[in-house]
Amino acid sequence: MAIDYDKLKNWHFPDLEHRYETRDTILYALGVGCGGDPMDRDELQFVYEDGLKALPTMAVVLGYPGFWLKDPKTGVDWRMVLHGEQGVKIHAPLPAAGTVIGRSRVTEIIDKGPGKGALIYSDRDVFDKASGQHLATLTMTAFIRGEGGFGGPSGAAPEPHAIPVRAPDTVVDIPTLPRAALIYRLSGDYNPLHADPAVAQAVGFPQPILHGLCSFGVAGRAILKACCGNDPARLKEIDVRFSAPVFPGETIRTEIWQDGATVSYRCRVVERDIVVLNNGRAVVA
């Protein structure tokens, strides 16, 4: 079944109401590795209910419509879907608990041609239900391998953010736990690729891989620490391009360049010396 451009471009997402508690906020922070040092008070604020604060990157799990591309009606072979890019813009600090409304939409689909792939761009806005306050805007690019040639527009993808050519100003190493993917999936992404060895091996990986958004959360932690004094209110925007998978238990090294309010970053796995997140950009207050 081929992609139907008009159907996919106008895919209907009902408003999604999402209630979350302090335990969910703590669970997300544990999923991206917070609390490794029980004496670190800067991280305790993300994993302890007394004065609890939400990590800005937690916006990615709020009002999430689920793995909607798995619906056969999309015409997409879900096994060929890769998470290409992710962006988060924070309009107001995320409450540590509350009820939000997520509103998603497909913004464009690019046909890369027969035998090639397709790019699906989507946005999600997250609002506080009680006040109506706009909390966050999320952007996502999904790359669908081998699904090109369906007759859609063939426009060029936007140029990625350029990483400076000088040595990084700061480097932050954060280890991940071997069980990291099993913890992170409890925040809502239950794709078996991150839990079941048989599923991972069927698509060419030797073992389950870490969620890309978990790696993204680790990078967000590194930027909070290096550029924001661990104050989540200071991180205003963060986006990235995914370039390679991380295996749970590996160490993610975030290389950071800061030019005023603009932060450039990329992440590599120390054990394999391979870049896993690239062309990263953040804006800090």
Q: Which residues are the active-site residues?
A: 189, 194, 209, 212
135: left (phi over 0), alpha (psi -120 to 50) or beta: alpha
Interatomic CA distance for residues 216 and 9, integer angstroms: 27
Interatomic CA distance for residues 154 and 247, integer angstroms: 34
Question: Residue 220, Cβ neighbours under 10 Å: how many?
Answer: 27
- Tell me which residue has tokens 């004065």: 51
Interatomic CA distance for residues 48 and 35, integer angstroms: 9
Q: H/E/C letters for each residue in 238-280?
A: EEEEECCCCCCCCEEEEEEEEECCEEEEEEEECCCCEEEEEEE
Beta bridge partners of residue 262, listed in sequence order = 259, 283
**Side chain identity, residue 159:** E
Interatomic CA distance for residues 100 and 91, integer angstroms: 14
